[in-house]
Structure 1
Amino acid sequence: MLSIKKQNGTATLNKPLDTVTFETPTVEDGTEMWKLVNNSTLDQNSVYKYILMCEFFADTCVVAKEGDKVVGFVTAFIPPEKQDVVFVWQIGVDSSQRGKGIASKILNELINRDACRDVRFLEATVTPSNKASQSLFKGLARHHDTDCQVYDFFSEDLFPSDEHEEERCFRIGPLK
């Protein structure tokens, strides 16, 4: 079902969310994930990082696709020393898809994967100025009726550039 949304007096056609699928990424998706990041304000990583994540951590990564186009993704992994944690490295949604709840659906897809069956906590680092991610992770905790603990993780002085803020850890759980 299509809906029409009026914004500033202009009618725009909204596609329903059911046209977006959530899949395990392939190495071919790595380049598309990198392109999405390069067209956003997300931290830049090499294309190689995305291809590696799709190859070696595909079970803990998710791509959101509309047709064949990657419109969102999460890269995540289970740290070897913390088997009950899935750590979200990066999550991104194409600007054309924002406001549709895709990021939340990607995270729920991730924690419902077989690879995460023993996961009790989701962790991610977020800078103080990234209000959207803070809201996303707090909302995930509310959705799962669990805690969201926030604590200092990586201080600004660890980063070689004066441009990088501290990273605070958001720990959501226990899950399930």
Structure 2
Amino acid sequence: MSKIESIKKGSDLVFRKPESEDGSEIWKLIRRCKPLDENSMYCNLLQCDHFADTCVLVERDGQVLGWISGYIAPSEPETFFIWQVAVAPEARGLGLGKRMLRHLIDREEAVECTRLKTTITKSNEASWALFRSFARSLGGELSDEPHFHEEDHFDGHAATEHMVTITFPEEARAAA
């Protein structure tokens, strides 16, 4: 049985809050998920330690297959902000990204959240597909607008990031 066939069974996937000891494995996963921006290993360690309640790690038999880092915005406590989504190449096509997003917004820590935000460059087709599919699955409304501009914020070194907002429908929040 191939790795992908084994993963598809899905019954042994573990969705959990990360621990500080997971930081280096998450860093390694992100390095394998081009073209994701690589943060320092220390940043991933801090995400695991300080933001565990709003991050999710997915593993199977101790192998890290998925990761989402996020936080509840201090200035907008009704907003769950997704920083980064990583799915191991061998686990792609299984809906793992969408399952991780759902796992996060279903947590007790997100009960007051009425929307999800993230930033995506126009060229990142995989992220657009994930967040559009997630919005549809919730019956939520997705909107976007340029937010961090190539010249104003990145000094021309990175593409403009669009702020994507998914507003949750009332019935979805009531069900959670």
TM-score (ref. length: structure 1): 0.90
> Residue 17 of structure 1 aligns with which residue?
10
Rounded to whole Å, the distance in 2 between the matches of 1:126 and 1:12 is 30
Rounded to whole Å, the distance in 2 between the matches of 1:43 and 1:138 is 21
Structure 2 residue corresponding to 1:58, chosen from 32, 52, 56: 52
Per-residue deviation at 1:174? 2.2
Matching of residue 43 in structure 1 with residue 37 in structure 2: yes
> Residue 92 of structure 1 aligns with which residue?
86
Q: 5+ residue gaps in structure 1?
A: 5-10
> Residue 8 of structure 1 aligns with which residue?
none
User: Following superposition of structure 1 onto structure 2, how do residues 1-176 of structure 1 map, counting pairs within 5 Å?
Assistant: 14-15=5-6, 16-41=9-34, 42-157=36-151, 158-162=153-157, 164-175=158-169, 176=173
Amino acid at match of 1:35: K
Amino acid at match of 1:62: V
Amino acid at match of 1:108: R
Per-residue deviation at 1:12? 7.8
Amino acid at match of 1:20: L
TM-score (ref. length: structure 2): 0.90
Rounded to whole Å, the distance in 2 between the matches of 1:173 and 1:54 is 26
More strand by share: 1
Q: 5+ residue gaps in structure 2?
A: none
Q: Cα–Cα, structure 1 residues 35 and 117, in superposed 2: closer, same or farther, change >3 Å?
A: same
SS of 2:142's equivalent?
A: strand
Per-residue deviation at 1:146? 1.2
Runs of 4 or more, structure 1, over 3 Å off, are none
SS of 2:11's equivalent?
A: helix
Q: Cα–Cα, structure 1 residues 159 and 13, in superposed 2: closer, same or farther, change >3 Å?
A: closer
**Percent same amino acid among aligned pairs?**
32
Rounded to whole Å, the distance in 1 between the matches of 2:29 and 2:121 is 20
Per-residue deviation at 1:38? 1.1
Amino acid at match of 1:117: V
Amino acid at match of 1:29: D
More helix by share: 2
Rounded to whole Å, the distance in 1 between the matches of 2:122 and 2:48 is 28
